[in-house]
Amino acid sequence: MRVALKTATRLLVAHPVSNLSVRGFSFSQSLKLTPTVVLPLHSHRPAKTLVRIATPSFRSCGCAPMSTVQVRDRIDISDTERSIFDRLLATLRHFHLQTQLRVAGGWVRDKLLGKECYDIDIALDNMMGTEFVDKVREYLLSIGEDAQGVCVIESNPDQSKHLETARMRLFDMWIDFVNLRSEEYTENSRIPSKQRIGTAEEDAYRRDLTINSLFYNINTDSVEDFTKRGILDLKSGKIVTPLPPKATFLDDPLRVLRAIRFGARFEFTLDEDLKVAASCDDVKDALAAKISRERIGTEIDLMISGNQPVKAMTYIYDLTLFRIVFSLSPEFEPAISDGCERLCISCLDTAWNLVQLLGESTFTAEQKRLALYAALFLPLRNTTYREKKAKTVPVVNHIIRESLKRKAKDAEVVLNLHQASHKFLSLFPCLTSGKDDQVVGHDWMGDLVDVPVYSRVRVLTGFLLRELKDFWRVALLISTILHPIDIEDEPSQLDIRRDLFNTVENAITKLGLERIWDVKQLINGKDVMNTLGLKGGGPLVKESLDKAMAWQLAHPSGTAEDCVEWLRETNSKRVKLQ
């Protein structure tokens, strides 16, 4: 979704959330548990076992090809994974256990997509995870090996941990063990009301998506597709729920956001019935009522930090979930007008594309994450609401801290980036032209009478960078998005914005300010008091320190003695004028 950013540069206040509806779709899907499809593998168990998968063709199943997702016909099991699986199988033999060991979910999916995965979850069909881990530990000790990091993670439904999980470390990899399960939900809670050890088929159908319902059976060296469509959906690049989507989402509305996250991550297509269910009022109400804000915030953070944040936010917009996820305070001002959601995503899209053009190494992962949040909420930066104590608070602060329950530090950084953007914009003319007399709109800083004209740009920029520290390039990115450009063609806009960023960045480097916040101030408060003959601190000391820092920025080769002498002379002039 792309909107000309020319509009974005003119809008410094929030714009409203539009209420879209999804029409023209209907769905009907009944629950039908079918016999498992076990895909036999031919393996001689070498050091690296290759798992062969027999999958139906599109023609034979009556489906038209929908995508060209590259799905491997074999799972390449690493030496470490083989060693882990061999120890687990040896435990079964040692204790004469009939337990079936299955690797569940994401590991199977990622392996079939040719991606590395270090998250191995073992599902057990006839015992609890703690029971089996005790057996593994006992076996390892019997053969002279250490059992490392054995622990139990208690169930915590509020954090999506519905069952107790046992964990241990094998060959430097953490392995989780949990029993297969069957669940029933009550109407007003995402916490299962009934749980029991279930069959592999029941466990597969209670999962969020078909692509996450696959198992790798360690005992038989086979991939099991109990829904009979997990591999097909993986090949066709579709996000589908094993059971009817509305029932699946009403049971656990968090699955809506997980479907969006996986759809964006793998660039898969959301199933039409899934989209209808996700955007219906019942599911949106359930998402707002049953899911904690912490869990919503965690999913959004994973999307923003992922490889397709714009696609994820676009899905949220298209499914009319934007205002459910990013809920606002009941009363805010100024009024939010139509187009806010679209404009938010447009700013995010521009920021994301600029990051790609500038190169991933320009920003750390944390800087990029907060830059994308700042861009997403840029159209809301002047919108405020009143707290109970009648204190005016930026609505962006409310979204990050209350709607998403992110860290207070995240909100603080984003707000600082928004506030710093107009300061950077006022410096653009002189930083791009190299002329100090181009400085305009610098009312955000105090009196510059004592600063030579030729040094004003260095002083202003230096103070701004000392405020922003490592995030100055992020603030520059946000300011670049806001800078007006009179070109309608978006690709050309991106190139111009990239060149503008590079020009300003190079100018700052030439001024020697790249890490100016690491430069120690030449004089301190004690020096100021001694020079001015003051007996204590106060506003005058703070004011004098700021002026001394401005002098230091204007005279990068100056010494502490020079600064003290300048301060003494300046104070003498002030006293005479009084």
**What does the CA dihedral 187, 193, 199, 203 come to, rounded to 10 degrees?**
50
Which of 154, 155, 172, 100 has its CA nearest to residue 132? 100
Nearest to 303, CA basis, from 240, 361, 376: 376
Amino acid 58: pLDDT: 29
Higher-pLDDT residue of 157 and 16 is 157
Q: What is the pLDDT of residues 161-176, one digit of tens each?
A: 345 789 999 999 999 9
CA nearest 16: which of 394, 385, 393, 383?
Answer: 383
CATH topology of domain 67-236: Beta Polymerase; domain 2 (3.30.460)
Supply φ then ψ for residue 464, to 5 degrees: -65, -45
Q: How far is the C-alpha of 20 from the C-alpha of 158, rounded, in Å? A: 30
Using pLDDT thresholds of 50, 70 and 90, give the confidence band for residue 193. Answer: very low
pLDDT band of residue 146 (cuts 50, 70, 90) is confident
Specify the range with the lowest mean pLDDT, choosing from 65-69, 148-152, 285-289, 477-481. 65-69
Residue with tokens 């205002």: 323
Give me the mean pLDDT over the 382-397 stretch: 85
Nearest to 200 by CA among 36, 41, 31: 36
Contacts of 38 (CB under 8 A, 6+ apart): 217, 220, 222, 224
3-state secondary structure 278-318: HCCHHHHHHHHHHCCHHHHHHHHHHHHCCCCHHHHHHHHHH
Of 51-55, 71-75, 214-218, the one with minimum mean pLDDT is: 51-55
Average pLDDT over residues 132-147: 94
Across all residues in the chain, what is the average pLDDT?
83
Contact 253, 283 (CB under 8 A): yes
Once rounded to an integer, what is the mean pLDDT over residues 98-108? 95
The candidate with the shortest Cα–Cα distance to 86, out of 129, 47, 30, 132, is 47
349-368: per-residue pLDDT in tens? Answer: 999 999 999 998 999 999 99
> CATH 3.30.460.10 in the chain, residues?
67-236
Percent of the chain with pLDDT over 70: 80
pLDDT per residue over 216-263, tens digit each?
999 999 999 999 999 999 999 999 999 999 999 999 999 999 999 999
* Strand partners for 52: 74
Instruction: Kindly tell me the burial class for residue 56, based on how many C-beta atoms sit within 10 Å of its own C-beta (0-12, 13-18, 19 or more).
Output: middle
Cis link prior to 334 (omega < 30° from 0)? yes
What pLDDT is recorded for position 208?
Answer: 95
Give the number of C-alpha atoms closer than 13 A to the C-alpha of residue 6, restricted to the C-beta side: 10
Max alpha carbon distance in the chain (Å)? 98
